[in-house]
Chains A and B, each alone.
Chain A
Amino acid sequence: MESGPITGPVLTDGVAGETHPRSADLSGVPAKPNPAAATGEIGGSFWRRFVFRRPLVALILQRLGLSVGLLFAVSLMIFGGIEALPGDFATTYLGQSATPQAVENIRKDLGLDRPWSERYLTWLGGAVKGDFGTSWASKNSVSEQIGKRLGNSLFLAFFAALISVPVAVGLGMLAVQFRNRLPDKIINVISLAAISLPEFFIGYLLIMVFAVQYGVATFPATVYDSMTLTERLSAIALPVATLVLVVLAHMMRMTRAAILNVMSSAYVETAELKGLGTFRIIARHAAPNAVAPVINVIALNLAYLVVGVVVVEVVFVYPGMGQYMVDAVTVRDMPVVQACGLIFAAFYIFLNMAADILAILANPRLRHPR
């Protein structure tokens, strides 16, 4: 977990003790010798010592605990949300061709007559073990199907990230170096344009130019089992390009803003006066301090690449998680929607957590929140 520069005692000035003023606050009237409060005292003091000695591990544990709690809350919200939707699975699935008999059969089949709390707990019990049950509509194992779909989504996201993250950070630095000069302006104009165009529009534009006009790109981007890697890569070229254009601008502008923020500080001025080159100043002096917000933005965009690509998947006919979830929502295929929602939430929570932890690793001052 811990690496080189962070081991060893961290010098604090008594701040650590204030991180958890729990015992004093929460025990209410301290005079009462009730056992629960006593254990709380012991646990509390142990935790405080632990935080003091291993601040980073403690922090990570805390974040993990929080994330798991969040996931539970999300699962409850998803379940409640679908319960609240108008129409139920049987009628939606059968559509206009629903006879009362058929609807009745389906409801009985799926145990929809049981109270929702009972159904939620059954589902949760399975989900904890990694078993999301079977899809109501197609009767296939949800875990199995999600495996394939998630693989496709990650495949797309991976290549989009591989291209967009380094390019965004590089362009951000470039923009800072040529601040308010021509390259910076060009980068700004293009990135603003990319931000303001909705993704489906970018997608359609790329399809129009590269698939319809010139016929150089593969369309639709449908991938399937018997494809070779080269075929797959050529199939995802256009959606990846679209995604890159969508996320690139955001990350680049954030990088630029964060670095510029640091550039106006005293120590950078000192470095300039020492006669260091601009690029060296940016890379060695400014960038490490600007890392936290940049990492945050990258994490957000990575999460978006997995979770928010529904529109791009639909436009390019790409069989990923987003489309899978949309299909399931339209017919109220509860097990699938819940599983997708939970996985999406897990992605978001995990990436945010990773971003926070990385930011703390990069910037020791964040370890002791006041």
Chain B
Amino acid sequence: MSDYKDYLTRQVMLGKINRREFLGRAAALGIAASTANTLFAVSAAAQEPKRGGHLKLGLEGAAATDSKDPAKALSQFLFVVIRNWGDLLVETHPTTGAAVPALAESWEPSADAATWTFAIRKGVKFHDGKELTVEDVVKTLQRHTDDKSESGALGVMKSIKEIKADGGKLVLTLTEGNADLPLLLSDYHLVIQPNGGMDNPDAMIGTGPYKVASFEPGVRATFERNQDDWRTDRGYVDTVELIAMNDATARIAALSSGQVHFINRVDPKTVSLLKRAPTVEILNTSGRGHYVFIMHCNTAPFDNNDLRMALKLAMDRETMVQRILGGYGKIGNDFPINDTYALFPEGIEQRVYDPDKAAFHYKKSGHSGPVLLRTSDVAFPGAVDAAVLYQESAKKAGIEIEVKREPGDGYWTNVWNAQPFCTSYWGGRPTQDQMYSTAYLSNADWNDTRFQREDFDKLLLQARSELDEPKRKDMYRTLAMMVRDEGGVILPMFNDFVNASTKQVKGYVHDIGNDMSNGYVATRVWLDA
């Protein structure tokens, strides 16, 4: 019963049912109208943040091999660590995803969007007392563009030709116009360090709300509040403790016994069990990450668009979201963009499960015999189950899919981006341009669907430097349609980020940018004792 109520509330959030429908169904449940009304208005009640206390987080994704250098940060755990001690030039807005000033106060593009000037904030101090200068910023960006660096932001920085300081301002020159440049600087690796981290990249000294007190890779990290923080709207607790917990059951036990205040990566399968604990709150956020079944457009039999279309139509998206994500997600439409992106092309018809139509296209393609799909649970949680579900729904269209379970070890090397049909996942990107450039541009390293079309490439580059918004939006609609109707990606679902906290934790911000309130969870929440 309460599960159903949650389900309704979620459906409202997903925009699947409107207020009237919700109230009707709620009445059928016997919930008083007033309660239902408040339920519906999921009010982010503006509470007054409390300061103080010791916040403990139990996080998946740490390893003894974790590096202290932000350039090499990969894990979920390090993501939160970096957010605690460092600042970026530009942050993203939690609900719109737009670029928001951080260490850069303001910016100004040239007419062709190929030269950008950033004003750097004055009076900001690093944890070691040194004042932040434009030099530090230049050095930081240079370190991440250096080919010899092993920075995870190398791909983002590729398009930057020159980085220089000009009278206290930062000037970036690009190889081509890019209207989204500020968003590229919100890549989480690009934390501004004293002298750019050239002297000591592992120092973990920044301008963020917390100072690092201790850090044992793969075990634990502790932080103390930075008393000289340049912002007052963050860093509410006195001390933060991150504990590495890679075992899902251990995380749940720690949260339900109140040993930690917050955990990440809650398995949709166990959410219902966790909800029974009266002290626990499930925090799920719609995001840009998505799970995919990818076909190589240049390899038989997938080089036939009718076969690709048949396979897309044979996917039962609703069932996928319910069964694989436990309802914590949204259905996808075979292109990698959803309404959390700026300039999202609305009104594109939703592709639905249609065995008859799938059978028609399948016949037209002339293909016969089984289609081999490779999968492994490292592709995404529940990927093997998803492949089997897909096998069932395709059977109804007369398409035989053979599911081959591959070892998780080496999956990203030997199967993904190597074999013609497999399961995978994508995290979101700050902009539509980046998402398409990463995986759908002909010459992209990770063009994992081998989608190679000149007209697509040309239009994408045009859209990149277009400063006129309606025009740009229209271009993105065309791009989306190309991928949806002719691409090699079957995109059944966008997954929610599912975290959980105790009820003491207040002020959690649902941020579309990334998991765990875009990594800012410890800097944004406070404890209500």
Contact = CB atoms under 8 A, between A and B. Distances in A.
B218 interface: yes
Interface residues of A, number: 51
B249 A315 contact: yes
A150 B66 CA distance: 19
B301 interface: no
B414 A138 contact: no
B517 to A, nearest CB: 21
Contact of B65 (A102, A207, A315, A328): A328
A141 to B, nearest CB: 13
Interface string A204-245: 100110011001000110101110000000000000000000
Given A92-B412, A95-B74, A331 B253 contact: no
A160 interface: no
Contacts of B246: 314, 317
Interface string A127-170: 00000000111111000010001000000000000000000000
Contacts, number: 138
B414 A86 contact: yes
Contacts of A330: 63
B256 interface: yes
A91 B150 contact: no
Contacts of A204: 249, 253
Contact of B214 (A102, A140, A225): A225
Contacts of B256: 212
A134 B152 CA distance: 21
Contacts of B414: 86-87
Contacts of B150: 94, 102, 105-106, 109
A315 B64 contact: no
Given A328-B64, A328-B65, A225 B216 contact: yes
A224 to B, nearest CB: 5
Nearest to A89: B65
Contact of A85 (B244, B259, B410): B410
Contact of A333 (B65, B148, B149, B250): B65
Interface in B52-67: 58, 63-67
A219 B214 contact: no
A327 B246 CA distance: 10
A99 B63 CA distance: 22
Contact of A86 (B67, B254, B413): B413
B154 interface: yes
Interface in B136-164: 147-152, 154-155
A336 interface: yes
Residue among B64, B254, B257, B407 with most chain A CB within 10 A: B64
User: Which interface class (under 10, 10 to 19, 20 to 34, 35 or more) fits B?
Assistant: 35 or more
Given A86-B413, A87-B414, A319-B216, A336 B245 contact: no
B238 to A, nearest CB: 17
Interface string B21-64: 00000000000000000000000000000000000001000011
B219 interface: yes
Contacts of B410: 85-87, 92
A296 B503 CA distance: 52
A86 B409 contact: yes
A255 interface: no
B217 interface: yes
A314 to B, nearest CB: 5
Contacts of B74: 93-95, 97
B313 interface: no
A324 B67 CA distance: 14
A316 interface: yes
Given A87-B409, A226-B214, A324-B218, A220 B147 contact: no
Nearest to A148: B216
Interface string A298-328: 0000000000000000111101000110011
Contacts of A39: none
B249 A331 contact: no
A122 B244 CA distance: 34
Contacts of B416: 96
Contacts of A314: 246-247, 250
A135 B66 CA distance: 10
A28 interface: no
B247 A99 contact: no
A212 B253 contact: yes
A100 interface: yes
A101 interface: yes
Nearest to B218: A327
Interface of B: 58, 63-68, 74, 147-152, 154-155, 202, 214, 216-220, 243-247, 249-250, 253-254, 256-259, 407, 409-410, 412-414, 416, 445-446
20 contacts: A87-B414, A88-B413, A94-B74, A94-B152, A96-B412, A97-B152, A99-B445, A137-B67, A138-B66, A140-B217, A145-B64, A207-B250, A208-B253, A219-B254, A220-B245, A314-B250, A317-B244, A319-B64, A319-B216, A333-B65
Interface of A: 85-88, 91-97, 99-102, 105-106, 109, 135-140, 145, 149, 204, 207-208, 211-212, 215, 219-220, 222, 224-226, 314-317, 319, 323-324, 327-328, 330-331, 333, 336
Given A87-B412, A91-B412, A91-B413, 6 more contacts: A87-B410, A135-B65, A145-B64, A317-B58, A324-B218, A327-B64
For the complex of A and B, the 4 pairs showing the least CB-CB separation, nearest first, are: A86-B410, A137-B65, A87-B410, A327-B63
